[in-house]
Amino acid sequence: MIIEILASRPVAAPIILSLLSVVGLVLCDYRGFLGGRFICKPLAAMAFIWLALIAGALESSYGQVLLLGLLLAATGDILLVFESEAAFLAGLVAFLCGHLLYALAFLQLPLNLLAVSLSLAPAAILVGGSLLWLRGHLSGPMRYAVPAYMIVIAGMLVCAGGTWGQPGALLIITGAWGFALSDLAVARRQFICTDPWNQLCGTPLYFGSQMLLALSVIFHAA
């Protein structure tokens, strides 16, 4: 059934674009070639938007709202290319709004209330542990922006968990958690340590998660 659904849409091209651009982005970051980020990162972001459109994002309310979230995530990607606190804060706002739209997209699907309740504890543990980890490294506006962002992430994860039992739920839940965990690599790079492991781990996890979320709309297309 899943193979038949995937075969009905030409999803290979954006997946290949994503793989190539993410590999290029990781290599550029590892080698310190910042100019390459201005090429590879927009291409990687374009890949998940392209995939969502091919998968039928415009054919369902779930897909339409999720597509708006993907566009905001792509905006955040572009902003984070620029190495400044102002750009980081603007990117944080874009990602926060993207998380909110993802949660709203998940709410377009019937909720499994048992799954919602089971999702509360792991989401709370992730947020609580992350805030304890970052507590001594935040200053200025980030002391308030980061906790607000983490609370929104928790809500998004709970809403993602509530889709359990719906078509594509595994893609949704895996993508949502991958997105949330990739944010920890961004936080580590911004506030704690700038070693290459942040990009080596966080970049593939982030873009892979966006691709999974984008692909999930195929199960709800007309």
Q: Convert 90-137 into a string of H (helix), E (strand) and C (coil).
A: HHHHHHHHHHHHHHHHHCCCCCCHHHHHHHHHHHHHHHHHHHHHHHHH
140 pLDDT tier (thresholds 50, 70, 90): confident
- pLDDT tens string 13-48: 999 999 999 999 999 887 777 778 889 999 999 999
User: What residue has token string 């961004």?
Assistant: 186
Average pLDDT over residues 57-69: 97
The radius of gyration of the chain's CA atoms, rounded to the nearest angstrom, is 17
Residue 112 has which token pair?
């499994």
**Alpha carbons 168 and 211: distance in angstroms, whole number:** 13
Say which residues have a Cβ less than 8 Å from residue 217's Cβ, sequence separation at least 6.
52, 55, 56, 57, 59, 60, 62, 63, 66, 67, 168
* Residue ranges per structural domain of the chain: 2-219
pLDDT of residue 32: 74
pLDDT score of 9 more than 80: no
pLDDT score of 6? 61
Q: How far apart are the first and last CA of the chain?
A: 16
